[in-house]
Amino acid sequence: MTESVQKNENDKPKIEDEWLIRPCPVYEEEYKECTSFRGRFHQYFIFGETLDCISWKRDYDNCCRWRENKDVKSAKEVIENEKRRRKERLVPHFSNDVWSRRKSPPENWNSPLPEHIQKEYEASYLNIKSKEMRGEIPPQTDLSSYCTLM
């Protein structure tokens, strides 16, 4: 794997896949949830044992070092953990042998809807709001949706 670190105009390192780094409080919340009583009970119920939550704490610390000090090594560690988590999450999807994947969309994917569905759509809230936003009809005010406290 090639290491890609570039400097931008403000001498801040630009790292490949930096977009994978979540906001730091997200890692802290994940750690708190993982170590909470509720989280531990859920882990025991699902997996039969409690999980190791230290990776969330390490990612939080690394994220803070990246945001505050632009520590490239810390950022790369967070990115690698995010890639690992994504890969683990997608394993069931790629190992699915029940459904066959399409090579192209179905032939009639953009054919018109049946007439009864088109009639239902004409009176739908979504269609009315869409026409209001395009300016085709004036905005409608439904007074029955307002609440009055006495």
**pLDDT tens-digit profile of 29-45?**
999 999 999 999 999 99
Residue 147 is predicted with a pLDDT of 64
For residues 95, 49, 84 and 32, what is the CA-based torsion angle, rounded to 10 degrees? 140
Cα–Cα–Cα angle for 55, 61, 66, nearest 5°? 120
Q: Which of 7, 56, 4 is nearest to 31 (CA)?
A: 56
What number of other Cβ atoms are within 10 A of residue 35's Cβ?
15
Tokens of 107: 């032939």
DSSP of 11-73, one letter per residue?
A: S-EEETTGGGPPPHHHHHHHHHHHHSHHHHHHHHHHHSSPPP-HHHHHHHHHHHHHHHH--HH
**What's the first-to-final CA gap in the chain, in angstroms?**
67
Q: Name, in order, each residue with C-beta under 8 angstroms of 66's C-beta and a sequence gap of 6 or more.
A: 21, 72, 74, 75, 78
pLDDT at 90 over 50: yes
pLDDT in tens, 92-133: 999 988 988 889 999 999 999 899 999 998 889 899 999 999
Residue 113 is predicted with a pLDDT of 87
Give residue 140's pLDDT band: very low, low, confident or very high (50, 70, 90): confident
Residue 2 is predicted with a pLDDT of 46
Query: Quick one: which H or E segment has residue 122?
Result: helix 115-122
Q: Are 63 and 21 in contact (CB under 8 A)?
A: yes
